[in-house]
Each structure stands twice: as structure tokens, then as C-alpha cells.
Structure 1
């Protein structure tokens, strides 16, 4: 084998290991202020995503802008991990049907008592100074939620998991000294599961359950452009296509009262297939990086995401005495993102990152307990140390503030006679704390 073939073989073996490790980490990824996270354990956490598609300082550019690989020398591999804690706790208000639903507020909805791991792996390989190949494995889409079994909103949602794990083979080419182009195929493995309580009404039976779950693959394309206006200033433009995740599952009912079981069977609902078409939204972003002087650099980003085509549905039965449908469409709106940040060279080995960002609301007014997220502010800070010519590491933290989110769910039928009941309240002072660490090797 030639030296190039050996290098490529080693690259492929490393990529396979990255896919396995990052896939396991990505299974716990969550976000707020939307379901497409900028946080995957990299330096972008400390920058609050400022300069997301223009920074191109390490192998994580395979995800943020594949064209940025042309700025990386040799083979580089970045391993990233993070831990987050989400404060997403519902508080029921006076409009809630406590008589029929009880008074359990559901606990911390996000994760295992609010905790989640996340991260990813990123690899860039130089075929030549102008041609680069890359691979990334990470999860930046989705959010798993878990409420207490007897919480007041159990007839709307109990548990739900929507996750996307992305494998990103990538290529970049330096057209000239200023312009670089890049592309990635986004092979996304989608995981979907939703469980909701069913109001049996009948004494002695408690609640029934309805669950659907499925896994599927979706495919998309990421395109990137990097233009160096001058040696210290570069502009990044990226576009990620929509990814269709077509989930399909039979309705899995359990613990139904005999009368309701018979009604559902006669109407063909008991074993019906349920199709849920989730669309990971297309997005576009413009980013800039400018080196002001030897100590300071400024970064910024403006982005758009098409959540109006998301396609998420709410599971359940509005009236068990007259079960017409088990799904209800939810409506969302497109969002905008803006971020500003800076880097400060404290000393030769140390670099300080910090930034602030804002994402507009994806839901109008009140939020669904299925997705207790909306507009959000991000505040990040982090530091990197250059250990040698071939290694560096960094840590980063970010606080995401989602504010107080109101929920007003009004049922046509009270819970005492087979309906879902009214659930009125709020998620007060929602927020997420991210702590990330990463290590970058150069070979």
C-alpha cells in the first residue's frame, strides 16, 4: 500500500470509532429555544455560536461549515463532550382541572431529573493543500422529555423522545486564495417515541396508555462557502437542507377499560398504523470572523430556520366516549438567530472565548408541554490552551435562558367524564446550563 492509502485506511478506522462513540453521546442530546442545538461540546459553546460558520479553527468545522476544512493542515481530530442540566419544571395554575387530574406538576421534564450528556467527534483529512475530506458524528437535533406518570398533563403527554444522530461525510476544495467550497451528506438516524395516558374513567382501572415508537433514516445536504476578504477577515455562508424523518408505528394501547377497548376496536383504531412525518428544518446562516489585532478577534452570525414545516403532532384522545382521532397537528413558525462574540489572546498558549446570542420564538404565545421551548438568550464563556504544535484543549460553559413559558390547554370534555381536562400553568424561569470540554489532535 502507498503512504496515501495507509493514511486513508487509518482515517477510515478513526472515523468508524468516532461514529460509534459520538452516536452514544448524541443519544442524550437536548436543546432549548428550538430543537436544533449549536451546542455539541465544542468551542462554540463558549462563543454562544458567534462566528459559527466562519471560525474554522478546528475540526468541528466539518459540522459548522465544511468549507472551513481548507484552513486546517494535515489530519485533525476533535473529540468533544458536554453535560447539561435543564430547568424545565411545570407549575399548574388555578385554571387547571385539579379535581379530575390531581396536583402533580410533573417534575423536571428534561432528561433524568434535568441531566443529559452530549458531544461528538470530528475528523478532517488533507488529501492535498487544496482538497480536504472530513467526517463528523454528533447529535444536535431533538429533545427527550419525561414527566411524572400522574402529572396533571398526562393525557396530553407523559414521555417523548425525538432525536437525530448525524453522520456527516464531507469534502472541501480551495478554489483560490480567497474562496473555498464545501459539502456534507447528512445521514441522520431518527429516534421517535411518545407515550400518553388514556382516561379510562371506569373505576378501578386507572389510566390506560398509548405509545408509538419507530426509528428511521433521513438524508440531507449541507453546503458551505468560506470567503477570505483579507488575511484577517473571512465570511462564511452555509445552507442545510430539510431532512424528512418518516416515522410509522402501530398504536400500542395497554390497560384499557373493556368498554373503551371495544369502542376503539370497532372503529379500527386499536391496531391502526400512525404516521408521523417529522421535518428537520432547512436552515441558512451567514457568519463573520475578523482579527482586529494580535489580541482581539470579533465574531458574529445571523441565521434562519424553517420550523413552520416541522410537522410535530400531539398524541392522545380528546374524548374517550367519542374517540375520533389519536393525533393532533401542532403549528410552529420560522425562527431567526443572531450572535455576537469575541476572542481574546491572554497569552501565547491561552485564548479566551465569550459570546451572546438570541433565537426568536418557534411557538406563538402559549407552548405545548410536548415542546416546552421557545425564544432563548445564550451567554457563553470558554478558554483554550495550546499544549503543543499538535495538541490543544478547551473548556466552555453556557447559560441558556428561556424565560417563563405559559401553557393553556383547554379540553372540550372535563377529565371526570373521559376528557383530557384543562391544564393551565407555566414553566417558570426556564434555562439550560452547558459545561463542555474538548481536545484537538493534529497528525
Structure 2
């Protein structure tokens, strides 16, 4: 860790003890992960609640499995490759480098099963991760006192039951059990009033928890050519609690502030947001299918959990801050082309609004409006086996940051230029 001799005097006790605890989480809010390796990766979430071609539909709409015959199994894998690089502003007072690529890669996998009980009822099961990302900056970067490393990963287990009330109308319910993992690490500034040049200290916080929610869905066949799906996912509450693990903290004023805050155990309550998704799928002709989705995500409640411990030279201490998150909207359109009886192409474009305004963006939550461009292919090897591959570009563009700590007044400024994610996925579906 590099010493920080270049910092102005007030920064000696800017603790930000749990500011980084929100970093990975808010990433999920700004770019909700629709991709879980399934064929729908190639559609940018267009038609997700209406299109039922394999068991992965239970993730978007549990009612969709009533449209699947027999027993089907879909196994998938994907990797997220990021290009998230911070460029410091000219007025930035912090020393250190620019952090490197904060998100190099994140692997994932999913498994979905559906079984038709009779002409009316179906059951299914899904194991998937569609919540969470990770950030990992260089240890000695300029924003190390704001965050160095953070990860939040949510893996869901979803048993599902669906029933056809009529030949056209189906309802589905899927209890959702989410296993959450959280970890964050940040540097502690030991520089005392700018008079001492001491190596940084270190803080680490990590925990796991299990939360429960429910997915509900309705699937309606308007006509032989048109299907509509409406789905709701409830919030999932995760409660992380850990004793911050501190190393090499030698600043006496900072240690006093830590004792005043009684940080033997710090709790973080996180609400994975509730969502609503409306989708339509329409067969234009035997070859072309058009798809669209419109969605809402309740990130405003999620923002209330942000915690930031910050202190000024007078010893005044605060431990919470409103990150000013807001609800987000999603819209997407796409198409599928059945080129041959065995080969199907998919393409889609989607947009997600940002969970924060530009003025509220932070380096632990570098979120912005997200555009998705996706393409995929599905090939039927034989009657009982399909394979698929897909690629999605998530474009965030330029995102300016001007983050100031409330009490100490320390400001970190810069820009994420041409930020983007590349999501590669593939898998296979077996039908029995």
C-alpha cells in the first residue's frame, strides 16, 4: 500500500467504514443481470416473460413452463468480461494510480428443469444467478479510501408450480431462495493531519446470508400467433453482519472515532428489488417472431441501506448516507428468425435507465444508463437436443464522477470512459 503524503489535512480521518459495502450491490441495480446463459441472452430480455422455448422461462415468468411438453433440462454457462476503467480528473487531490480495469471477468452458470404433469399442470426448478457483480481496483489506486474491492453475488434456487386455468391462460408461482455473499475491502488513511507519512491500514468486511422471496407470473395466449406474459418478483431481504477486520490502523484520532462508533459488529440490510415485467411475443409468419418487453425495478428502496462512516477534524462522526437511488425502467425489442427447421437466429436491443443521477455517481457505484445489443443462435442437433450461444454488449459510455465525503469534504473526481460489459453465454437443452 502506498503512503498518502499528498492528501490535504482533513482527509486523515475520512473513514468511509462501510461505504464500499454498497459497491457491488449498486452495480446490480444499474445493470440488472438478465443474462444467465440461456437462449434468451441473444434478445436483450425482449419477450422474456412471454417466450417459452425452454425451462429458463421460469426465471422470467414461472407460468411459462405450462407451454413446455414432457421433461426438459437446460444447462448453461456464461462469463462477463468488463472494461471499467477510471481516469482521474486534473483537480484530484489523491495520489496513486487510476485503478486499472475494475471488472475483468465474472463467470456464472445456471440449470433449469421443467416437467409436464398433465395437460394442465407443470412443475420446474431453477438454479441461477441474475443479481450481482464485482469490482476490484488496484490496491494503491487514487480512490483506495473509498473502495478497493467489493463483491456481492446472489444465487437463487426456485422450485416452480404452474397451472393452466384454460387452454390459453396460465398462472405460475416460484418461491425464490437466494444465497447471498458479500465482501468488501478498502484502505484506511493513517496520515495524521498531514504531519506523518504512514502506510495505509486496511479494512475487510464479509458475510453470507439467505433470503426468501417469490416469483409470480401470468401467461396468456391472445391468439395462435400472439402470447403475452406478466411477471412479478418480490424483494428479497439479505442481512449481512460482520465485525470489520482492521489491520495496521495507527492513526490515533481515527481509532478514537472507531471506538465511539462501537464497530464490534456492523449490520447491513439489503433489499434485492422487487420487479415487474410485461412481455409480448408475436409470430409475424412461420419464420419471423417479434418480441418486446417493458419492466420496472424498485431500486429506490435499495438505496436507503447505504452506510458511510465519515468524520471531520472536530471528531464529529456519521455512519449513514442516502445514496439517492431511484427506480429504474427497462425496455427492449427483438426478433427471432427460423432460418431452417433446425437453425434459429436471435437479436435484440434493450435500454435500462440509471439508478442514480449523474451528480450522485460514486466510484463504488459507477452506474449509468445501460444499452444492450445482443445476438444469438440456436441449433437443433436432433429431436431431443438443442445447443445455443449468445453475445451481449452492455454499453455504459462515459460516466463522470465527483464524489465528496460529507464531513471531511474530501473529493475524488474523474471519469469512466467508454465503460462496457461483454457477456458470452451458451448451453444446451435436452427434451424427453
Which deviates more, 203-212 or 122-131?
A: 203-212
Rounded Cα–Cα distance in structure 2 between residues aligned with 1:48 and 1:207: 43
Say whether 1:383 aligns with 2:377: yes
Q: Which of 147, 165, 178 pairs up with 2:137?
A: 147
Q: Which of 135, 146, 149 pairs up with 1:156?
A: 146
Which deviates more, 420-429 or 256-265?
A: 256-265
The C-alpha deviation readout for 1:143-187, integer Å capped at 9, x for no partner, is: 111111111111111111112110001110011111010010110
Q: Which of 111, 116, 124 pairs up with 2:114?
A: 124
Deviation at 1:191, TM superposition (A): 1.1
Partner residue in 1 for 2:324:
331
Deviation at 1:298, TM superposition (A): 0.3
**Local SS of the residue matching 1:46:** helix
Asked whether the 8 Å contact 1:298–1:343 carries over to 2, the reply is yes
Rounded Cα–Cα distance in structure 2 between residues aligned with 1:42 and 1:286: 19
Asked whether the 8 Å contact 1:209–1:255 carries over to 2, the reply is yes
Rounded Cα–Cα distance in structure 2 between residues aligned with 1:335 and 1:296: 30
Say whether 1:251 aligns with 2:251: no
Say whether 1:397 aligns with 2:391: yes
Rounded Cα–Cα distance in structure 2 between residues aligned with 1:194 and 1:31: 14
- Cα gap change, 1:363 to 1:96, in 2 (>3 Å): same
- Cα gap change, 1:90 to 1:320, in 2 (>3 Å): farther
The C-alpha deviation readout for 1:38-72, integer Å capped at 9, x for no partner, is: 11111121111110100111010121111110111
Q: Which of 153, 163, 187 pairs up with 1:197?
A: 187
Asked whether the 8 Å contact 2:82–2:422 carries over to 1, the reply is yes
Partner residue in 2 for 1:57:
53
TM-score, scaled relative to structure 1: 0.87
- Cα gap change, 1:283 to 1:208, in 2 (>3 Å): same
Rounded Cα–Cα distance in structure 1 between residues aligned with 2:124 and 2:258: 52
Partner residue in 2 for 1:186:
176
Say whether 1:425 aligns with 2:414: yes
**Local SS of the residue matching 1:263:** helix
- Cα gap change, 1:427 to 1:316, in 2 (>3 Å): farther
Partner residue in 1 for 2:400:
406
Rounded Cα–Cα distance in structure 2 between residues aligned with 1:290 and 1:412: 52
Rounded Cα–Cα distance in structure 2 between residues aligned with 1:368 and 1:164: 22
Give matches, 1:157-306, under 5 Å: 157-202=147-192, 203=196, 205-257=198-250, 259-260=252-253, 262-264=255-257, 266-269=259-262, 271-306=263-298
Rounded Cα–Cα distance in structure 2 between residues aligned with 1:385 and 1:282: 34
**Local SS of the residue matching 2:344:** strand
C-alpha RMSD of matched pairs (Å): 2.1
- Cα gap change, 1:388 to 1:265, in 2 (>3 Å): closer
Rounded Cα–Cα distance in structure 1 between residues aligned with 2:55 and 2:138: 40
Provide the aligned length of Structure 1 versus Structure 2.
404
Give matches, 1:307-326, under 5 Å: 307-310=299-302, 311-319=304-312, 322=315, 324-326=317-319
The C-alpha deviation readout for 1:195-247, integer Å capped at 9, x for no partner, is: 22211114353111222221111110110000001112100000001111121
TM-score, scaled relative to structure 2: 0.89
Rounded Cα–Cα distance in structure 2 between residues aligned with 1:323 and 1:226: 55
Partner residue in 1 for 2:4:
none
Say whether 1:352 aligns with 2:342: no
Rounded Cα–Cα distance in structure 2 between residues aligned with 1:434 and 1:401: 11
Asked whether the 8 Å contact 1:342–1:355 carries over to 2, the reply is yes
Asked whether the 8 Å contact 2:358–2:368 carries over to 1, the reply is no
**Local SS of the residue matching 2:374:** strand
The answer for unaligned runs of 5 or more in structure 2 is 1-23
Give matches, 1:84-99, under 5 Å: 84-97=80-93
Rounded Cα–Cα distance in structure 1 between residues aligned with 2:376 and 2:386: 14
Asked whether the 8 Å contact 1:210–1:252 carries over to 2, the reply is yes
The answer for unaligned runs of 5 or more in structure 1 is 1-27, 414-418
Q: Which of 41, 44, 48 pairs up with 2:44?
A: 48
Asked whether the 8 Å contact 2:190–2:251 carries over to 1, the reply is no
Say whether 1:434 aligns with 2:423: yes
